[in-house]
Every structure is written in structure tokens, then in C-alpha cells.
């Protein structure tokens, strides 16, 4: 996560007069609880500052694409549309202020968690091997991954990150991790690492699978 409003302003300068980028692929609805889309591995940028180690999946035209572990060939909007096509209702709980007020110890927004239906994330390699999120990413804080369909469609015009999945409860995420808040990010409550032994080399294409899970919790 970075100051994406500043990044968006720079992007607008660069792209003024140009047509909006068009996604190169489509989200596939597999069944009534599952969508899939293509992406490629990009471990090299995952640890780069100033956006190190928390962008799991980003659209290849998004502002955070160079810092994401997986780069998607579909947009964040397409992913929202795909999950909503399964009748999933996003939580839409996080406003931009949850990021903007991150250093304000009196603010409550940075302590809020992403809400929405739980989502299981898997990565399918070309040989059919299926990797779970916890197989691929380590969590030094030990709380794990409670991934939720946050949505946050209304934040996209301000955020411009193209972020599909964030490992914190980030207002720029479409699917976020309810195990860690923006306050936790500021405090350095965890450090996410990559299991490079399981992933193919950077640039290798794979399939990302999102599966909605039944839950009685928000």
C-alpha cells in the first residue's frame, strides 16, 4: 500500500489523451461458487519498496502491478463483477480514511477489518498442481489468512492500484485479509514471505481460483 491518490495523479498525466487500458483476458465462472482467471508469477517485485510484501494479486495495468506477487490479466473490476455474478455481496466496509489516517493514533478507521463473504484462493499450475495461499505465502505474525470479498468498488476512482488481493484489510483491495488491519501494517505486526521453492519462475502463467465459502460470520 502506498499513496495511490498521488500515484493516480501521476498516472493521469502520463495517460492523458490515451484510451483506457483494456484487460487482455476474461474471468471464467466455473460453477455457482467459483471463478478463475489467468495471471503470471512475479516474485521479484514483491519485496520492493515502497510497496513491499502485501500486494498478492494486481491487474497488470494497475499502479501496484510492479510490486505484486501475481500479476493478473484481468482487471480488479472484472473480479468484482465475477464474484457478484455468483450472488456474492461485498462487505464494502473500508473507506479511504482507513489508509489516510493510518498514522493517527486517535483514529478508528485504521483498526477496521475487511468484511464480506470468505474466499478461498488457490493457484493452479500448468501441470495441474494446486497450491493454497498458505502454501505460497508465509506469515511471521501467525494469524494466517481470513480472506474476504470486500469489494470497495467505490474506492477505485481514488485508489487506482488495480489491487485484486491484498494481504491486509486495505481499502484498495477487492479481496482482503481480515486477519490484519492497516494499524497492524503500520505497527509491523507481520512480515509476509514467499515460498519460491513451490512457485515456477517469474513470468510463468497459471490460473487463479477464487472459491466462495459458506459462513455465518460477516
pTM of the model: 0.88
Please name which of 214, 174, 200, 208 lies closest in space to residue 77, comparing C-alpha atoms. 174
Q: Residue 14, SS3?
A: helix
Please name which of 176, 206, 201, 213 lies closest in space to residue 36, comparing C-alpha atoms. 206
Digit-coded pLDDT (tens) for 137-185: 999 999 999 999 999 999 999 888 999 999 999 999 999 999 999 999 9
Q: To which residue does cell 516474485 refer?
A: 43
Domain spans, the chain: 25-212
- Which residues is 165 bridged to in the sheet? 57, 175
Say which residues have a Cβ less than 8 Å from residue 197's Cβ, sequence separation at least 6: none
Say which residues have a Cβ less than 8 Å from residue 62's Cβ, sequence separation at least 6: 68, 75, 76, 160, 161, 162, 163
Digit-coded pLDDT (tens) for 82-94: 999 999 999 999 9
Q: To which residue does cell 491487474 refer?
A: 59
Mark the ranges of the chain whose per-residue pLDDT is less than 50.
Answer: 1-18, 216-217
Please name which of 81, 82, 85, 86 lies closest in space to residue 214, comparing C-alpha atoms. 86
Amino acid at each position: 500500500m502506498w499513496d495511490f491518490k498521488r500515484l493516480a495523479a501521476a498516472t493521469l498525466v502520463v495517460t492523458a489523451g490515451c484510451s483506457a487500458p483494456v484487460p487482455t483476458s476474461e474471468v471464467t465462472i466455473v460453477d455457482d461458487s467459483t471463478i478463475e482467471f489467468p495471471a503470471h508469477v512475479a516474485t521479484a517485485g514483491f519485496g520492493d519498496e515502497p510497496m513491499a510484501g502485501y500486494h498478492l494479486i494486481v491487474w497488470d495495468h494497475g499502479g501496484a502491478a510492479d510490486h505484486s506477487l501475481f500479476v493478473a490479466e484481468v482487471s480488479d473490476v472484472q473480479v468484482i463483477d465475477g464474484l457478484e455474478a455468483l450472488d456474492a455481496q461485498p462487505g464494502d466496509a473500508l473507506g479511504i480514511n482507513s489508509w489516510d489516517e493510518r498514522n493517527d493514533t486517535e483514529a478508528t478507521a485504521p483498526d477496521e477489518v475487511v468484511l464480506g463473504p470468505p474466499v478461498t484462493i488457490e493457484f493452479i499450475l500448468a501441470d495441474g498442481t494446486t497450491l493454497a495461499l498458505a502454501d505460497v505465502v508465509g506469515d511471521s505474525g501467525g494469524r494466517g489468512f481470513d480472506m474476504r470479498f470486500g469489494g470497495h468498488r467505490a474506492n477505485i476512482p481514488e485508489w487506482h492500484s488495480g489491487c485484486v488481493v491484498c494481504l491486509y484489510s486495505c481499502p484498495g483491495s477487492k479481496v482482503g485479509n481480515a486477519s490484519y488491519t492497516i494499524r497492524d501494517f503500520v505497527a509491523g505486526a507481520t512480515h509476509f514471505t514467499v515460498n519460491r521453492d513451490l512457485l515456477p519462475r517469474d513470468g510463468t502463467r497459471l490460473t487463479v481460483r477464487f472459491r466462495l465459502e459458506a459462513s455465518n460470520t460477516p
